[in-house]
Structure 1
Amino acid sequence: MAPNPAHTALWPAPHASEAVAATVHVPGSKSVTNRALVLASLASEPGWLRRPLRSRDTLLMAGALREMGVGIEETVSSSSSGAGSPDGAGEAWRILPAGLRGPATVDVGNAGTVMRFLPPVAALADGPVRFDGDPRSYERPLNGVVDALRVLGARIDDDGRGALPLTVHGGGALDGGTVEIDASSSSQFVSALLLSAPRFNQGVEVRHTGSTLPSVPHIRMTVDMLRAVGAQVDTPESGGEPNVWRVTPGALLGRDLTIEPDLSNAQPFLAAALVTGGRVLIPDWPARTTQPGDRLREIFTEMGGSCELADYGLVFTGSGSIHGIDVDLGDVGELTPGIAAVAALADSPSTLRGVSHLRLHETDRLAALTKEINELGGDVTETADGLHIRPRRLHGGIFRTYDDHRMATAGAIIGLAVEGVQIENVATTAKTLPDFPELWTGMLGV
């Protein structure tokens, strides 16, 4: 079979000849959009999602829910300047819950949220639901969800792999109850069970037994969104036992929700201000959020920038200097590729810790970052749980992405300061950030 031309094409990463000065409208949050789609589909009444992200991951989620019988009507506001734009600006999705049904076939692509959040939904369907996806999706851990669902009463055929492809034989309901899981490889195991738990006959009590728990802010996001639609959730933060979450069974309300900008996807644009000593405004940055990307304000400030959060958004300004950092990214692992790219351009070494779970993401991100930065002349070494980065003078070359959207944006960050960087398969950014090349060149005034 001939390779997909989009996967082999090389994109010349623009080199910044001067300080960036731009306003960048970042599309909606993938994490919020996909959680909202699940909750709205399980609600007892219709709901609205406004300014949803339209990207590969979210369209796969919407398509999967439609396959199981949920109505999702897309509308475009004629009064919005962003009407019709592929990132969802000016759009609204009306979610019409219905009796979940099979037989259905779900394509998860390589979306962790789809492959992990939807098997519990499928257990509530009336009929079998088959899950399949990209080759890389077969390698990503799913056993935490599969094993837990079996304990809670589901019937799943996976040939003992604990991974895709698999079939969930929905019985129209699920008993629920107490289950122990090890979510050390992905906090999505916990979120997956919590999102559908109000519809389980007994709700759920999830007990995490592992020694570590990555990306805790994403679990807080799940809990906040559950509570916003009427679910009763007890958590460690609300006085419950450590590493235990309880969801009471009950009806979920339909809501009218406007999706926040994706703060993790704002990372390359903030990095551009840091790398070029420029200034970038991200409109509508929320004053309060559970998105892990909000921590960029702290991390990039420590690396040499400054920020101001106002009603209209976040203004980030680079100082012209980039400093190394020693930081634990266990809660915000998705930010690692962009931080590594900036660290490779710093004036002192960096150590990024707490992210061993990134070896199981869209690609092995630690190995990929090490290889690609070093092939441009860098000095990056893997540690047991992260990376050590010693800045070196970099040169141009091909930066491979391994079908990983955050590898592509990391390469673009390096390209700002290093002439001749070519990004392989920049189109993979469509997974969560539609039209990234156009946003990037627009920021630079190219």
Structure 2
Amino acid sequence: MTAPLPWPAPHRDTPFVGDVMVPGSKSLTNRVLILAALGDGPSVITRPLASRDTDLMAAALTALGATIERDATTWTVTPPAAVRTDAVTIDCGLAGTVMRFVPLLAALGGAPVTFDGDEHARVRPMATTIATLRSLGLQVDDEGRGSLPFTVHATGGVTGGEIRIDASASSQFVSALLLVGARFEKGLDLRHTGSSLPSMPHIDMTVAELRRRGVRIDTDEPGRWIVHPGTIRALDVEIEPDLSNAGVFIAGALVTGGSVRVRSWPRHTDQAGDAWRTIVPAFGGTVAEDGADLLFSAGESLTGVELDLHDVGELTPVIAAMAALADGPSRLSGVAHLRGHETDRLAALVTEINRLGGDAEELEDGLLVRPRPLHAETFRTYDDHRMAHAAVVLGLRVPGLLVENVDTTIKTYPDFAPVWERLMTQAP
């Protein structure tokens, strides 16, 4: 198959002033889907994100016996009527939530389940997931790789109890266990043994969604979660807008000296993207509430920043692009775990920013970005949607910049490229 031609990123000489409503949260949609499949009855999900990652999750749950009926605005999820006993294969694509959450769900079944995914997925760290499954008493065949593909041999249930894991590479290892812990015979007493735990908002989101469904979780001790065994209640929910995806539009406004209104920003949320409220002022911009919306505006200049992004690492690529266009150097720290995401995001950002004539340096736990004049080139995305978001932000200020495989953005935002092109080429 011939690879698509690089996409010409829109460029602006005038401020972008816009109004956006982003699709639903991928992180929330996939957690809600799993909990609905584990519930004690059907659940209706309103305005879920329909994207590659969530389609892969829906397909995985269907393969494990759940029924998902979809229409324009709602998905109705009915849990499996019985434990499935025939072997199945699940395509994880490049979705971390599928490759790390679903194997623990499959452990509750009664048949072999094989997991595989895209080429880049086969290098993502999965050793913790595989070791966790084995500590729960399951046989896992991975031929010693510690990565995809592997097969989980389920036996009809999991005893549970005390589990120790090092989740320093990804908070998803913790969320995966929490989501299914109530269905273990003895529940779950989970301790994180590593020195740090990234992306805590994602774990907080998992805990909040479990508690909404009646699951009792004790979190009195840092790095420890006690999930009591019991029923996961069915619950009808509405999905919040994806605030991380809102970030690319916020960045577009700031780097062009403009402003953007993001519709229906949740007043209280566990999403990592809510950090844009504090990140924008750090870059010299302002944030104002207007009813249910937030208005983000550029300041007189785009200032360099020093930010610890440990809890909100997924925002790093777009922030790095902004830093490359700022009026002073920026240091982004706390994100060593990004080396294990869809690609090694730290190495990829340094390579691509420097390819444009920039000056980015990889640090032990982050990036140092020193702004320099940039020139047009093809910005490679490594099949990573966040890298594509970084590219289009840079394209606003770098005439002629081309983006390799912009369609990788369908992972979390269907139709992103035409939406971005329409908004960024409209008159000010």
- The letter for the 2-side match of 1:264 is S
Comparing 417-426 with 164-173, greater Cα deviation is found at 164-173
Comparing 140-149 with 33-42, greater Cα deviation is found at 140-149
Q: Quote the Cα distance in structure 2 between the aligned partners of 1:347 and 1:26.
A: 29
Structure 1 segment 343-422 matched on structure 2, within 5 A: 343-422=323-402
Query: What is the DSSP-based 3-state SS (H/G/I as helix, E as strand, rest coil) of the residue aligned with 1:119?
Result: helix
Aligned to 2:141: 157
Contact 2:333–2:365 (Cα < 8 Å) also in 1: yes
**TM-score, with length taken from structure 2:** 0.97
Q: Quote the Cα distance in structure 2 between the aligned partners of 1:203 and 1:290.
A: 24
Query: What is the DSSP-based 3-state SS (H/G/I as helix, E as strand, rest coil) of the residue aligned with 1:134?
Result: coil
Aligned to 1:249: 229
Aligned to 1:64: 60
Q: Quote the Cα distance in structure 2 between the aligned partners of 1:378 and 1:417.
A: 13
Q: Quote the Cα distance in structure 1 between the aligned partners of 2:396 and 2:425.
A: 13
State the 1:268 CA deviation.
0.7
Aligned to 1:168: 152
CA deviations 1:157-212 (Å, max 9, x no partner) are 22222211111112221111111100010110000000011111111111111111
State the 1:311 CA deviation.
3.0
Q: Quote the Cα distance in structure 1 between the aligned partners of 2:185 and 2:57.
A: 24
Q: Does 1:201 align with 2:197?
A: no
- The letter for the 2-side match of 1:60 is L
Contact 1:152–1:178 (Cα < 8 Å) also in 2: no
State the 1:92 CA deviation.
0.4
Structure 1 segment 253-272 matched on structure 2, within 5 A: 253-272=233-252
Q: Quote the Cα distance in structure 1 between the aligned partners of 2:146 and 2:364.
A: 25
Aligned to 2:415: 435
Q: Quote the Cα distance in structure 2 between the aligned partners of 1:31 and 1:97.
A: 20
Query: What is the DSSP-based 3-state SS (H/G/I as helix, E as strand, rest coil) of the residue aligned with 1:223?
Result: helix
- The letter for the 2-side match of 1:181 is I
Q: Quote the Cα distance in structure 2 between the aligned partners of 1:144 and 1:230.
A: 28
- The letter for the 2-side match of 1:241 is E
CA deviations 1:278-320 (Å, max 9, x no partner) are 1111111100000000001101111021111233211111124
Query: What is the DSSP-based 3-state SS (H/G/I as helix, E as strand, rest coil) of the residue aligned with 1:199?
Result: coil
Give ranges in structure 1 of 5+ residues lacking alignment.
77-90
Comparing 150-159 with 177-186, greater Cα deviation is found at 150-159
- The letter for the 2-side match of 1:92 is T
State the 1:392 CA deviation.
0.5
Q: Quote the Cα distance in structure 1 between the aligned partners of 2:124 and 2:130.
A: 13
Query: What is the DSSP-based 3-state SS (H/G/I as helix, E as strand, rest coil) of the residue aligned with 2:391?
Result: helix
Q: Does 1:278 align with 2:258?
A: yes
Give ranges in structure 2 of 5+ residues lacking alignment.
none
Q: Quote the Cα distance in structure 2 between the aligned partners of 1:277 and 1:100.
A: 56
Contact 2:12–2:425 (Cα < 8 Å) also in 1: no
Q: Quote the Cα distance in structure 1 between the aligned partners of 2:276 and 2:391.
A: 18
Comparing 98-107 with 296-305, greater Cα deviation is found at 98-107
Contact 1:24–1:439 (Cα < 8 Å) also in 2: no
1:96 aligned residue (74, 78, 102): 78
Contact 1:13–1:421 (Cα < 8 Å) also in 2: yes
Aligned to 1:234: 218
Query: What is the DSSP-based 3-state SS (H/G/I as helix, E as strand, rest coil) of the residue aligned with 1:126?
Result: coil
- The letter for the 2-side match of 1:141 is P
Contact 1:70–1:100 (Cα < 8 Å) also in 2: no
Q: Quote the Cα distance in structure 2 between the aligned partners of 1:262 and 1:35.
A: 14
Aligned to 1:30: 26
Q: Does 1:304 align with 2:284?
A: yes
Aligned to 1:87: none
Query: What is the DSSP-based 3-state SS (H/G/I as helix, E as strand, rest coil) of the residue aligned with 2:71?
Result: strand
Comparing 27-36 with 309-318, greater Cα deviation is found at 309-318
Comparing 133-142 with 261-270, greater Cα deviation is found at 133-142
State the 1:445 CA deviation.
4.1
Aligned to 2:39: 43
Q: Quote the Cα distance in structure 2 between the aligned partners of 1:162 and 1:377.
A: 37
State the 1:342 CA deviation.
0.2
- The letter for the 2-side match of 1:228 is R
Contact 1:398–1:424 (Cα < 8 Å) also in 2: yes
Q: Give the root-mean-square deviation of aligned CA atoms.
A: 1.1
**TM-score, with length taken from structure 1:** 0.93
Comparing 314-323 with 424-433, greater Cα deviation is found at 314-323
Contact 1:145–1:193 (Cα < 8 Å) also in 2: no
Aligned to 2:129: 145
Contact 1:153–1:176 (Cα < 8 Å) also in 2: no
